[in-house]
Amino acid sequence: MQQFTGSEAEVSLSLTARAEGGRTVIEATGEIDVETAPQLGDKIAALVDEGVYDLVLDLERVEFLDSTGLGALIGGLKRVRSHDGSLSLVCTRERLLKLFRITGLNKVFDIHPDIDSAI
């Protein structure tokens, strides 16, 4: 049985935001799960509080997404829509796309193959 030290088992999520083409692109790197989903929710909330309502979330560097992560995405979508905004996703990872299809969220989110088409 393999054992993990704290640093090896540590789950992390990195979020960076930048303005591009009249929208704000949030690039996520790592895992969006029960431990890190609040970070994503907080980032979207902070942007909305700053008056940013049209977001693109780049999931190309996300290795794992669980139900808590999906909940954070839905919460973010509701938050921007309450200001007549939008939250589009960039995702080509089949593993994540399958999750969106299974849950029916592919019909809720606009999912694009690249940043340019999302903007």
Distance CA 73, CA 37 (A): 9
Query: Helix, strand, or coil here: 65?
Result: strand
pLDDT of residue 6: 41
Q: How confident is the model at residue 19 (pLDDT cuts 50, 70, 90)?
A: very high
User: Percent of the chain beyond pLDDT 70?
Assistant: 91
Region 37-41 average pLDDT: 97
- Residues present in the chain in total: 119
Quick one: CA torsion of 114, 119, 31, 65, rounded to 10 degrees?
-80
Q: At 112, is the secondary structure helix, strand, or coil?
A: strand
CA-closest candidate to residue 59, choices 104, 20, 7, 110: 110
